[in-house]
Structure 1
Amino acid sequence: METKPKHFFYVLECADDSLYAGYTNNLEKRIATHNAGKGAKYTKPRTPVKCVYYETYETKQEAMRAEYAFKQLDRRAKLQYIGGQHEISKK
């Protein structure tokens, strides 16, 4: 049986309490890469980061559409989107 690759839209909380949204097909590896300071220019000076939300999609396009839509929201709407499921500073 062949397993389909998973595609993730994810949200990180950075050390400065900012939020970072991204796409990956390997969530654990991507978070480790961010925390190693090699993930993205934005997160590099804001480590450590922790994953506070993610969604799984069947295609890369769907996951990237979700990421784009999330990035269009203001901070309050982003916090609402992730459902207040996590203790994130509300600066």
Structure 2
Amino acid sequence: MPFVYMLQCADGSYYTGSTIDLERRLSEHQFGQGAVYTRDRRPVALVWHAEFDRIDEAFGWEKRIQGWSRAKKRLLIEGRYAELAGWSARQRACRERDG
């Protein structure tokens, strides 16, 4: 089954990826065989993942999450799904402007 996952790197940053073999991919990241981004930021820790029926769905969510702010990713990690709506930078700017 395809997965989307998020890792927290040693420097505190987040890495989002997708795979059909989550255990193998996590091992690759941990041993420096994963993405270039995580190689110099080890160790990494799995902080969130979701399983999908189709690879295109997982890949779509990977790309969507990669575009999110750190704050929005944190809400996802914490399972605060109801709060995810309205976290785009544009919507926050409108709320701040409108008071």
Q: TM above 0.5, one fold?
A: yes
Larger RCO, structure (CA 8 Å, separation 6 or more): 1
1:23 and 2:18 matched: yes
In 1: Cα distance, 2:30 partner to 2:76 partner: 24
What TM-score, normalized by structure 1, do the two folds share?
0.83
Q: Secondary structure at the match of 1:43?
A: helix
1:56 and 2:51 matched: yes
Q: Which residue of 1 aligns with 2:61?
A: 66
Say which of 74, 79, 88 aligns to 1:79.
Answer: 74
Point out the more displaced range, 31-40 or 74-83.
74-83
Say which of 5, 8, 17 aligns to 1:13.
Answer: 8
Structure 2: 5+ residue runs without aligned partners?
81-99
- Name the Cα RMSD after superposition: 1.3
In 1: Cα distance, 2:6 partner to 2:48 partner: 5
More helix by share: 2
Structure 1: 5+ residue runs without aligned partners?
1-5, 86-91
Identity across the alignment (%): 38
Higher-Rg structure is 2
Query: How many positions carry a matched residue from both structures?
Result: 80
